[in-house]
Structure 1
Amino acid sequence: MLEKNLKGVERPGTRLVYADIYTPIINMVQQKTQYGFEEVHKGCCGTGLIEADFACNPKSPLCDDVSKYLFWDAFHPSEKGYRIIFNSLKSLLQNNLA
């Protein structure tokens, strides 16, 4: 619904592009070995689970190898995860922002 209504809110000099980041994340969760991940259900920093306070801080425990984790903390993808998301959207962005 959001994607269909974006054109209606564009103004002169602006361009809005709908980019779905959830499908690439779901693909990485469902096909973790294809993307080189070992852990896709918890984060590298903190306990890796959803926590109610500052889960990731200078005193938080870290995993041994963040490249094996899809998520950095309980909410945010790792650098590798973000890179895969960006690469999946790169052509969409190039085609719509050129």
Structure 2
Amino acid sequence: MLDKLKRIFNIPIKKYIVKEFKCFVFLIIYTVATLLLPTFVSKIIDKGITQKNLRLATLYSIGMLATGVIVVIFQYLQQTSFYKLGQELTMCN
């Protein structure tokens, strides 16, 4: 089946599998970071504000900020890598 696809499209399959894996890694990191954001909000409220612990509230706020930056960076990387892969697959014929 892969030989038939390779003949049809005349593309090196391994090259695109590696690029697809890179896209998938960016997607996983973005998804995990996005899932962590609500956890930080609950930690800030439960452990920082209700217990009046300013140090923990600050610590969780910094963690939330860092996670937010990671979300933005990996969302950009994920979108651009999928776009580039799609363009390469479209232009290969």
TM, length-normalised to structure 1: 0.31
Q: Which has the higher contact order (CA 8 A, sep 6+)?
A: 2
Q: Which has the larger radius of gyration?
A: 2
The structure with more helix, counted as a fraction of residues: 2
The structure with more strand, counted as a fraction of residues: 1
TM, length-normalised to structure 2: 0.32
